Amino acid sequence: MIEAIQAIGERSNADDRGGPDAPPPSPFLTAGEIGRVLRLDPSQVRRLAAAGKIPCHAFPSLGGRTHYRFVLEEVLDHTRVRVPQVLHRGPR
């Protein structure tokens, strides 16, 4: 997973044209990029987004379709597994 996150960072650095007039890098990632991080197919990522199971930003297109974009930190915070603490009862 760390390799996928680093690859996304490298992509954003490669897109950086530098200079004072360069636009800031977009915080939004595509379903394919989030899919690489989560190890899911992009179509599965879109289905999860449409069902409200992962946080996304939906943008309607002129053709009536919905385009989903994701913020890496929001998705990682949402999908992080929280393991419940197990009570230690001592030796048996």
The answer, as to whether pTM is greater than 0.85, is: no
Angle at 90 between CA 84 and CA 92, to 5 degrees: 115
Domains in the chain: boundaries: 27-80
The terminus-to-terminus CA distance of the chain in angstroms comes to: 38
Helix (H) or strand (E) holding 46: helix 42-50
Res. 82: pLDDT tops 50: no
Write down the pLDDT at residue 52: 92
Res. 43: pLDDT tops 50: yes
At 71, give phi and psi (nearest 5°). Answer: -105, 125
pLDDT-derived band at 26 (thresholds 50, 70, 90) equals confident
Mean pLDDT of the chain: 77
**What's the average model confidence in pLDDT over 32-47?**
94
